[in-house]
Structure 1
Amino acid sequence: MLKYRTLDTPAGAFTVVVSDTGGVRAAGFTDDVGELIPLIHPDLRDPAEPADDVGPVAGHVRSYFDGDRAALDAVVVEQFSGGEFMRHAWLVMREIKPGAPVTYSEFARLSGRPAAIRAAAAACARNPVALFTPCHRVLRTDGSLGGYRWGLPVKRLLLDHEQAAA
């Protein structure tokens, strides 16, 4: 059984969906869990119920927004994709440091496939655990924001927050 909780953050409502082991399976800047459940791979998808206790995840999110840029590193995520590159890219994405965003081309290079810029962009677009796997830290080659499932104002706020805490 999955459980979820919506937290108030400076970027707006943020909902996390966690497994019974506490791993985050979906997260995003929404108060509608129905937007998040379809992002979870079918092999990991279960019914989700609201819960006050989602383990230490809520505390890590609060610490992050209070200025502890490393707080999210301790959060366990449970992502799954059919493709080896996607899984690897998500692991690499978690290594992108706050305050040091990279471009899609740099991200593709870091992921071991420098020519796979579209695949790197797809890894960002399909990321089901926003914030914890920080796709907001990947920018267009010209340094502009590009897209973000939860809106460019949220992406800008997160990047500015991380830069200010640097």
Structure 2
Amino acid sequence: MLIHSTLDTPVGPFTVVVSKIGAVRAAGFTTDVPELMSLVHPALREPVQAGDPGEVGEAVRAYLAGDLTAIDAIPVEQHTAGEFMRHAWQVMRGIKPGAPVTYTGFAVLSGRPPAVRAAAAACARNPVALFTPCHRVLRTDGSLGGYRWGLDVKEWLLKFESGT
């Protein structure tokens, strides 16, 4: 059984879906749990009920209080059929707050410099927003690009993490 919980943030509700071992399977700036579950690979889907997210909730609250690394140690459970996507999500977790990279830079970090579109796809298909920080990846020209949860949320997160 998975647990879901919605926390208030300065940019609206943030919902996490957590496994029994405390790993995040889905997260996003929404209250729509079925929408979040649609992002999770079918092999990782289970029934979901409301509950206390434990350390995950504590880490999100600490992050929002200014400890920008509080979420880094929280495990995530992401699954995809593609090896590059799996690797790219791991690499994305290493992008530091306040130090966003471009899709081109992200492709380089992921070990496949020509794979800019694949790097962008890894961002677009990320089911665990914030914990796998796709908001820290920008267009090659430095503009925001897209964000599933809205450009206003992405802009707020980047400003918050940069201290501006």
Q: Which amino acid aligns with 2:84?
A: F
1:1-166 paired onto structure 2 within 5 Å: 1-51=1-51, 53-164=52-163
Distance 1:11 1:107 in 2: 26
For residue 47 of structure 1, report the CA deviation from its aligned partner.
1.1
Distance 1:75 1:32 in 2: 22
- Give the secondary structure class of the aligned counterpart of 1:71: coil
Distance 1:27 1:103 in 2: 22
- Give the secondary structure class of the aligned counterpart of 1:89: helix
Distance 2:106 2:77 in 1: 21
- Give the secondary structure class of the aligned counterpart of 2:72: helix
TM-score when scaled to structure 1? Answer: 0.97
Distance 2:96 2:11 in 1: 19
Moved beyond 3 Å, runs of 4+: none
TM-score when scaled to structure 2? Answer: 0.98
For residue 152 of structure 1, report the CA deviation from its aligned partner.
0.1
Distance 1:140 1:65 in 2: 25
Q: Which amino acid aligns with 2:149?
A: W
- Give the secondary structure class of the aligned counterpart of 1:74: coil
Q: Which amino acid aligns with 2:11?
A: A
- Give the secondary structure class of the aligned counterpart of 1:141: coil
1:120-142: CA deviations, max 9, x gaps? 00000000000000000000000
CA RMSD of superposed structures (Å): 0.8
Q: Which amino acid aligns with 2:18?
A: V
Paired residues, what number? 164
Q: Which amino acid aligns with 1:131?
A: L
